[in-house]
């Protein structure tokens, strides 16, 4: 018995494996595995043969994974039947699970493999679930993350993992913690039915063929918002990710002002302003975004725009004391381009051996030896030869596809993981790799940072969509990677000229809310205005973000709001910082619980909000915010 909870074990109940507590209370019963596939006409068939299960406690599991991430007191079990085996490593609050399933029937074309299904002990009340994007259905920065309250018999499915609260108030999380071959989904229904599912990219599942699942984790938390970072931390520790986290970068990005309208002059005018304001706004990176090259911009420079070559401009950036950064789009190659014409064998094919095309582009097969050499040479050139130490690897999931690879066992997941592995391996050790529009969990071990939200762009509505994702994904920052909430823009129409390709329309209050959200988002911080056109007051808005913490704020209303509006960064010594944001179109009353007496002060205005005991309350108008520092008295 630990922390008021009995340890979990595996036993057979009603002919099926069950995870129960030593006090005999149920956790997950009626466990099963199987596959789903399309039968004749429109009939969907399920393969769940009668299974005669046995279970035994066993010695600790070994292998490449680090089971010490579970803690010190762990019990290990194996349950098996004719076509399936379940491995379980259990504590009082965590169940780490993996299954093997063998197709005992005739060959079939599977749709989904149920790695593990069962009945959770209680009915379910709420869920946070992640949608998918692109052809292969992966979770990336554009995927929706929504909160739902279950109606009777209601259900939902989530990519990678699903935080839940049951009708007793217990917080739990069901999620995959390895990503070796298949994309994972989690299904849950109001009555407690749950499934861990693998999406199988195979033409056929042969008779007798065995599928081994990824490791899955069921975790219980005292408090959801405090507990979720532990899921990201476990994933990192269990997989022995290299602890490569550099300091979260601060810098300039050309995209949201110039878009592809960039040239040598763009560098010079902004670098000079950065040099002038660096005592107030300490930028470290200058990143050139899309527009510097031809095609997918992996090396062919537009010499009419950057006549000295990209190596020379990296040197110019370094001369200002900044780290040079560059944008890449790695998977898409124009069908009529030289690379595809010269090396068609480097690209993904359909079942007939023809190139699979998307938007007139072929997609790179990173399992082919020739393509692998190309990737290694590219990243060596970019980082060692040209000298770029910040690479934004973008538009990845948009060009991921099911197909046939040089490695016949490869899938869209293993293909993208191989690309990022090679990119990391070939890059200079000091290079910061940012994944953008790429799988969030599946490539986390290879990147330093990752974009976690949709593009900000120029309207209020884009802020709402972006920070809906940012605040619901707070638990990834500094655990899986350093999060990137996208760029900050404080400009208005009078700060734009003919170079501008995204005219901002936000009001003064909306800009302040943007600043507030960025302040508590944590992770990386990038600016994307034309710096010479900003006023001293606007430079002051930048400066008010410093000194800054890279720690992400915790959304106190995570499971109660479509988009969180109470973001708590916790205490720094005796001062607690909380952001209050009214994302809606009606005024909203906010309440913050305090422990004892505090003196409150608003960050942006410096307004003294007085002394509050146990509770702080205020009302905000639509689109408005406050960033409040509560100092203990």
What pLDDT digit, counting tens, does each position of 594-620 carry? 999 999 999 999 999 999 999 999 999
Tell me what percent of the residues of the chain surpass a pLDDT of 90: 86
Q: Quick one: pLDDT at residue 44?
A: 45
Q: Are 145 and 180 in contact (CB under 8 A)?
A: no
β-strands 54-58, 75-80: how paired? antiparallel
Q: Which helix (H) or strand (E) holds 512?
A: helix 508-521
- Residue 133, CA distances (Å) to 142, 159, 363, 438, 447 in order: 7, 10, 17, 10, 20
Closest CA to 482 of 323, 251, 245, 143: 245
How far is CA 16 from its chain centroid?
35
Name the one residue in this structure whose structure tokens are 């097969």. 365
Q: Quick one: pLDDT at residue 45?
A: 44
Split at pLDDT 50, 70, 90, the class of 243 is: confident
Residue 75: strand pairing partners: 90
- Residue 269, CA distances (Å) to 245, 273, 529 in order: 31, 7, 12
Concatenated DSSP letters of 190-229: TTSEEEEEEE---S-B-TT-EEEPPPEEEEEESSHHHHHH
- Give SS3 for 608: strand
Split at pLDDT 50, 70, 90, the class of 135 is: confident
Q: Measure the N-to-C terminal CA separation of the chain; round to a whole number of Å.
A: 39
At residue 308, does pLDDT exceed 60?
Answer: yes
CA–CA separation, 170 vs 403, rounded Å?
A: 42
User: What is the number of alpha carbons within 13 Å of residue 125 lying toward its C-beta?
Assistant: 11
Dihedral of the CA atoms 341, 347, 351, 352 (nearest 10)? 10
Q: Quick one: pLDDT at residue 50?
A: 65
| Average pLDDT of span 296-323 | 94
CA–CA separation, 227 vs 220, rounded Å?
A: 8
At residue 3, does pLDDT exceed 60?
Answer: no
Domains of the chain, each with CATH number or no CATH: 8-238 (2.70.98), 249-327+453-550 (3.20.20.70), 329-387+394-451 (3.20.20.70), 565-632 (2.60.40.1180)
Closest CA to 562 of 583, 590, 593: 583
- Give SS3 for 603: coil
Q: Please tell me what DSSP assigns to residue 338.
A: H
Q: Please tell me what DSSP assigns to residue 82.
A: S
Residue 95: strand pairing partners: 90, 218
Q: Quick one: pLDDT at residue 1?
A: 47
| Average pLDDT of span 307-315 | 97
Q: Which pLDDT tens digit goes with each residue over 217-236?
A: 999 999 999 999 999 999 99
CA–CA separation, 262 vs 291, rounded Å?
A: 6
How far is CA 39 from its chain centroid?
35
Q: Quick one: pLDDT at residue 5?
A: 67
Closest CA to 457 of 497, 494, 399, 500: 500
Split at pLDDT 50, 70, 90, the class of 102 is: confident
Q: Which two tokens stand for residue 190?
A: 């109001």
Q: Quick one: pLDDT at residue 41?
A: 46
Name the one residue in this structure whose structure tokens are 């993996």. 98
Closest CA to 446 of 239, 246, 241, 160: 241
Q: Which pLDDT tens digit goes with each residue over 469-522?
A: 999 999 999 999 999 999 999 999 999 999 999 999 999 999 999 999 999 999
CA–CA separation, 613 vs 603, rounded Å?
A: 20
How far is CA 408 from its chain centroid?
28
Name the one residue in this structure whose structure tokens are 């949709």. 454
pTM over 0.85, yes/no: yes
Q: Please tell me what DSSP assigns to residue 475.
A: G
- Helices H / strands E in the chain, number of each: 10, 35
Q: Which two tokens stand for residue 31?
A: 């466990």
Q: Which helix (H) or strand (E) holds 314?
A: helix 310-319
Split at pLDDT 50, 70, 90, the class of 43 is: very low
Buried b (16+ CB within 10 A) or exposed e, 216-234: bbbbbbeebbebbbbbbeb
Query: Rounded mean pLDDT of the chain?
Result: 94
- Residue 5, CA distances (Å) to 119, 387, 409, 523, 623 in order: 20, 54, 43, 35, 44
Cα–Cα–Cα angle for 303, 305, 306, rounded to 5 degrees: 60
Closest CA to 99 of 112, 117, 118, 85: 85
| Average pLDDT of span 122-126 | 98
CA–CA separation, 453 vs 84, rounded Å?
A: 39
At residue 548, does pLDDT exceed 70?
Answer: yes
Output Rg (C-alpha) for the chain, integer angstroms.
26
- Give SS3 for 17: strand
Concatenated DSSP letters of 358-392: ETTEEEB-TTSHHHHHHHHHHHHIIIIIS---EEE
Q: Are 155 and 189 in contact (CB under 8 A)?
A: yes
| Average pLDDT of span 293-318 | 92
Q: Which two tokens stand for residue 239?
A: 């997989």
Total count of residues recorded for the chain: 633
β-strands 285-288, 323-328: how paired? parallel
Q: Which two tokens stand for residue 312?
A: 């020379």
Name the one residue in this structure whose structure tokens are 């259900």. 155
- Residue 275, CA distances (Å) to 6, 321, 497, 548 in order: 60, 9, 22, 20
Q: Please tell me what DSSP assigns to residue 354.
A: P
């Amino acid at each position: 018995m630990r922390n008021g909870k009995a340890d979990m074990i595996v036993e057979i109940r009603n002919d099926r494996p069950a995870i129960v507590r030593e006090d005999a209370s149920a956790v997950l019963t009626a466990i099963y595995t199987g596959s789903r596939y399309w039968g004749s006409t429109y009939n969907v068939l399920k393969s769940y043969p009668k299974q005669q299960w046995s279970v035994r406690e066993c010695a600790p599991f070994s292998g490449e994974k680090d089971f010490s991430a579970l803690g010190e007191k762990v019990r290990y079990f194996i349950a098996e039947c004719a076509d399936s085996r379940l491995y379980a490593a259990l504590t009082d609050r965590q169940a780490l699970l993996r299954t093997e399933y063998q197709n005992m029937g005739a060959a079939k074309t599977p749709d989904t493999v149920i790695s593990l299904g069962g009945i959770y002990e209680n009915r379910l009340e709420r869920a946070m679930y992640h949608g998918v994007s692109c052809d292969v259905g992966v979770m990336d920065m554009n995927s929706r993350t929504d909160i739902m309250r279950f109606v009777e018999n209601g259900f939902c499915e989530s990519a990678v993992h699903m935080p839940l609260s049951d009708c007793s108030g217990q917080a739990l999380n069901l999620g995959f913690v390895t990503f070796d071959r298949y994309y994972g989904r989690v299904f849950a229904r109001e009555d407690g039915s749950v499934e861990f599912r693998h999406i199988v990219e195979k033409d056929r599942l042969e008779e007798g063929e065995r599928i081994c699942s990824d490791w899955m984790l069921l975790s219980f938390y005292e408090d959801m918002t405090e507990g979720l970072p532990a899921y990201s931390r476990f994933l990192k520790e269990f997989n022995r990710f290299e602890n490569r986290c550099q300091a979260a970068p601060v810098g300039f990005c050309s995209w949201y002002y110039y878009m592809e309208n960039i040239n040598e002059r763009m560098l010079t005018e902004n670098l000079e302003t950065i040099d002038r304001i660096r005592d107030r706004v300490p930028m470290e990176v200058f990143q050139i975004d899309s527009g510097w090259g031809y095609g997918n911009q992996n090396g062919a420079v537009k010499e009419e725009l950057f006549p000295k070559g990209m190596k020379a401009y990296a040197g110019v950036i370094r001369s200002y004391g900044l780290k040079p950064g560059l944008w890449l789009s790695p998977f898409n190659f124009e069908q009529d381009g030289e690379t595809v014409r010269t090396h068609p064998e480097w690209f993904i094919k359909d079942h007939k051996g023809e190139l699979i095309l998307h938007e007139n582009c072929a997609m790179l097969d990173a399992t082919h030896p020739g393509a692998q050499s190309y990737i290694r040479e590219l990243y060596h050139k970019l980082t060692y030869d040209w000298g770029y130490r910040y690479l934004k690897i973008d538009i990845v999931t948009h060009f991921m596809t099911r197909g046939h690879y040089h490695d016949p066992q490869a899938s869209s997941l293993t293909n993208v993981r191989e690309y990022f592995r090679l990119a990391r391996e070939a890059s200079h050790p000091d290079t910061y790799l940012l994944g953008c529009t790429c799988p969030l969990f599946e490539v986390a071990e290879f990147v330093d940072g990752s974009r976690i939200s949709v593009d900000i762009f120029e309207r209020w509505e884009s802020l709402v969509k972006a920070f809906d994702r940012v605040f619901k994904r707070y638990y990834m920052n500094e655990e899986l990677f350093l999060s990137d909430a996208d760029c900050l823009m404080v400009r208005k129409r009078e700060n734009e000229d003919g170079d501008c390709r995204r005219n901002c329309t936000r009001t003064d209050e909306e800009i302040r809310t943007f600043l507030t959200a960025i302040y508590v988002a944590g992770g990386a911080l990038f600016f994307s205005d034309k710096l010479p056109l900003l006023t001293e007051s606007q430079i002051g808005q930048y400066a008010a973000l410093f000194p800054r913490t890279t720690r992400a704020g915790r959304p106190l209303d995570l499971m109660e709001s479509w988009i969180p509006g109470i973001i708590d960064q916790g205490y720094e010594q005796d001062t607690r910082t909380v952001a209050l944001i009214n994302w809606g179109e009606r005024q909203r009353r906010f309440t913050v619980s305090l422990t004892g007496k505090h003196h409150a002060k608003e960050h942006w205005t410096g307004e003294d909000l007085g002394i509050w005991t146990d509770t702080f309350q205020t009302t905000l108008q639509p689109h408005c915010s406050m960033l409040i520092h509560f100092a203990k008295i």
